[in-house]
Amino acid sequence: MSRPVAIVLGAGMGGRAVARALGADHLVIVVDRRVDLAKAAADVVGGEAAMVDLLDIDDVMRFRDDVLARHGRIDAVVHLVGGWQGSKTVDVGALDAWDSIAPGVFVTVRTTTVAFRDALIASGGSYIMVSSTAAAKPTAGNVAYATAKAAAETWVGGLAHSFKDTSARAVVVAVKALVDADMRAAQPDQAFPGYTDTSDLAASIHGIVGGDTANGARRDLTEA
């Protein structure tokens, strides 16, 4: 039986931690718009790196077909793509923030769920979106970001519904923000209240991929 395949979308500190966690029992393919970052994250676990335009459904489908042709399966897709941008209030700046972040936060969820849905059904696999607690707590200053995350969560909820009567699952994992050992070392006086350590995020996602969370669940790691 071929080794299960996990695709990690995003090579930031969260993506790197998730790649390390999943690399113990999966072939990990790290995707980023910067192939050097993807390669650095993938090399740690002997995985693969790819640069894919996640805004372009045709490019995502070509990538999916290549992975299936070479490895025969896709067992997990972890979405860690996005970026935060705020505004002073609900003003023109909020519109500008939306235009800036909506593609990465929301559109990439649409393309990747559509592209990978059937492959995940075939493998009984997992689609995991890392979201933000802001999605449930909009403010004047985070309205664009919160709205984009909430829209993305709604889309993943639709994916979960489409997985009904299959063994596949779609799960949302929410954090306030992420912190890792390097950040703590660089700011030793900072407490990072409410932040989730990337190692805890990675452990949670590893458990979800292993089947410890039901389809359609939303796991808030700030409540752990």
Summarize pLDDT for 70-89 with one digit per residue, the tens: 999 999 999 999 888 889 99
Q: Is 193 exposed, middle or buried (0-12, 13-18, 19+ CB in 10 A)?
A: exposed
Q: Look at the chain and report how many structural domains it folds into.
A: 1
CATH code at position 37: 3.40.50.720
Dihedral angle sign, alpha carbons of residues 162, 210, 40, 198: positive
Q: Using 50, 70 and 90 to split pLDDT, how confident is the model at 224? A: low
Q: How many CB atoms lie within 10 A of CB 174?
A: 21
Look up residue 224 and give its amino acid: A
As a whole number, the mean pLDDT across the chain is 95
pLDDT value, residue 82: 83
Q: Using 50, 70 and 90 to split pLDDT, how confident is the model at 110? A: very high
Q: Is 196 exposed, middle or buried (0-12, 13-18, 19+ CB in 10 A)?
A: buried
User: What integer is the mean pLDDT of 160-187?
Assistant: 95
